[in-house]
Chains A and B, each alone.
Chain A
Amino acid sequence: MTPIALRLRLLAVSAVSITLALIVAGLGISSLFASHIETDVQSGLQDEMNRLIALLDVNTDPVSLSQPMPDPRFLKPYGGLYWQINDPATGPIQWSRSVWDTPITLTVPMPPAGQLIETNLVDPEGAQALGLVRKLLFERADGTTRTLDLIVAEDRSELDAAIAAFRFDLLRALAILAIALIAASWLQVTVGLYPLAAIRRGINAIRAGTVRRLDGSFPSEVVPLVNEVNELLDTQETSISFARARAADLAHGLKTALTVLSTQTDALHRSGQHEVARSIEDINQSMAATIDHQLALARLRHRSRSIRYSAPVLPSVERVMSAVRRTPQGALHRWTVAIDRSINIDLDPADLVELLGAVLENAANWANGAVSISATRSDLTVTITVDDDGPGVADDALTTLGQRGKRLDETHGGSGLGLAIVAEIAALNSGSVVFKRSNLGGLRVCLQLPAAA
């Protein structure tokens, strides 16, 4: 899983849990608030109930209040605060002015005498209300008793409006809190995952070839992962080196055996078996060339564009030329070099030597007496041109040159692999090789390679 996916995961989990926790907290707080203010209202109603009982004169008929209830809301029609006295047998007998002309209807069964119940009612205005209902047995002055149902009620709308306003404020506050907490958790995830991002950058750099291992200090939780990655890289490096070394050993072993065989053909020549000897020599040369080609391919590393080289062309040409000029073919020719010392190319210097070696050796093998090497630079490309005055190549065969194993002249030495390696090195380095007819009369090899920055 990539660090980004991990981050999204952590963020999603924390966002969901923060939201859930805040919803639960919001519901809890809102319910606590509602219950708290309901209790407050109930307590107010309780006081009103006590006041009603205290002011009630049961000796009159109908019963009356010795003085009006003090709260002005009782006096205003539909004022929001109500009292009502019911005769259990006949129904409402007295009520506050606020009840106006629609006495309250009780939907709950009346409690036993003396007990108080809290209940929800529909008030005279038709709105929901909180009510207290109490059945009381009064003793009158004449010694008789009278049972009355007393009701006080308060419209819920103010209460509900207060609860709604509180919930709205609470929601805003919790939303802000949720945003702050999610932002904090994003920060936490980012800071927490920072070492993983560093690992990701490191791995990208390894892939790009700019570093070989994951270096730097990492938190203790990440160190085992870093160590694992580094061990994996070491193992890979060791395996590649081991494979290259085995390939080189194999090549060396095969070449030694081929050399033994090749030096023994001399005896065949001396005994007059020239045909057998030559056939063995041909097979030998072709096997050796195949080994060289495969070994050269094994040596070529996959080129990463992030590694920039700056290989000076002229010194490499001079070194390779001095080697080729030591050979009998090379020694015979006049070599002309026209390369500006400032031309550098973006190519591994070892690959440049390999490439020039193959091209110059080919020129030395075919030239009649002159080989010319030049290089020019445009903005991004360096073109190295090698001309010889040899027999050249027919126009229709120019395109097949550089293809592996193509030998245009079977009588000449070589295996056709030298120019194939040239094409492969050029291709691996975003370059190309083109074969043309030379103005010296022979072959012109144009190598186009990226210029060094």
Chain B
Amino acid sequence: MRVLLLEDDPRIGANIAGALELAGFVVDCERDGEIGWYRGDTEAYDAIILDLGLPTLDGLTLLKRWRKAGIFTPVLILTARGNWDERVEGIDAGADDYLAKPFRLEELTARLRALIRRSVGHASALISVADLTLDTRQMRLSVGGMPVSLTPQEYRLVAYLMHHQGRVVAQTELVEHLYHQDFDRESNSIEVLVGRVRKKLGSDVIQTRRGYGYIIGGEAA
């Protein structure tokens, strides 16, 4: 899952990014409002964490611009001001959740996971496809009730495909959501990754739609 983090304080940014990466997210950090807006506008993210007090372009304006431009990526706003007027204004501007500073990273991670799940239509922290069950809180995958050991990258691949179950996900989309932006997009790392996961879960769990991409939970080709 790829997340855009817009936070002007470098220490907070680094701490959040560190925790989110440990939790299996790919995190892009920006400290400037204008640049943040541009990245949110042009790149595909699963969620955006937006601090309202950004330099050059404040968070609320930026959020309204995205929504006006038809960018409906789930947004979690962070605010140092505890007043409700600002929180409500944030929600009115199109935010999906808010968190008042200071917060616990655990809380932020949980909120972010819930946000991403809700955005793709899953209400529960457990996502199931056939006999696969993904526990997004514990970052565990089990097959028929038996836990399967996955590397972080393998987990991200399965989690992304299970969040978007029943939909063909293009290889480029997977690269965008599983790797940092400076990743070499021409490499065959996705194919290698899919091959490794198939070895652990069975060859028919992730199906290939040749020329389109990969799918979990689709009808047999």
Contact = CB atoms under 8 A, between A and B. Distances in A.
Interface of A: 248, 251-252, 255-256, 258-267, 269-270, 281, 284-285, 288-289, 291-292, 295-296, 299, 319-320, 322-323, 326-328, 331, 350, 353-354, 356-358
A263 B80 contact: no
B106 interface: yes
B84 A320 contact: yes
A267 B14 CA distance: 12
B187 interface: no
A319 B102 contact: no
B15 interface: yes
B195 interface: no
Nearest to B118: A331
Contacts of B92: 319
Given A262-B103, A266-B105, A288-B100, A256 B82 contact: no
18 contacts: A256-B12, A259-B102, A263-B19, A264-B15, A265-B105, A266-B15, A267-B15, A270-B22, A288-B82, A288-B102, A296-B83, A319-B91, A319-B92, A326-B95, A327-B111, A350-B85, A353-B85, A353-B88
B81 A323 contact: no
A259 B12 contact: yes
Given A259-B9, A319-B88, A326-B97, 10 more contacts: A256-B101, A262-B101, A262-B104, A263-B12, A263-B19, A265-B104, A288-B101, A289-B82, A319-B92, A358-B84
B11 interface: yes
Interface of B: 9, 11-12, 15-16, 18-19, 22, 53, 80-85, 87-88, 90-92, 95-98, 100-106, 110-111, 114
Question: Ordered nearest first, which 5 A-B pairs have the shortest CB separation?
Answer: A357-B84, A292-B82, A263-B15, A262-B102, A258-B102
B111 A261 contact: no
A354 B85 contact: yes
A251 B83 CA distance: 12
B88 A357 contact: yes
Contact of A328 (B16, B80, B100, B111): B111
B15 A252 contact: no
A263 B16 contact: yes
Contacts of B111: 327-328
Contacts of A291: 82
Contacts of B90: 323
B12 A260 contact: yes
A349 to B, nearest CB: 9
Given A264-B15, A323-B98, A328-B110, A259 B85 contact: no
Contacts of B114: 328, 331
Contacts of B96: 326
Given A260-B9, A288-B101, A266 B84 contact: no
Contacts of B87: 323, 357
Contacts of A296: 82-83
A251 B80 contact: yes
Given A252-B53, A260-B12, A323 B91 contact: yes
Nearest to A255: B80
Nearest to B9: A256
Given A262-B102, A323-B98, A354 B84 contact: yes
Nearest to B90: A323
Interface-central residue, B22, B80, B97, B111, by most chain A CB under 10 Å: B80
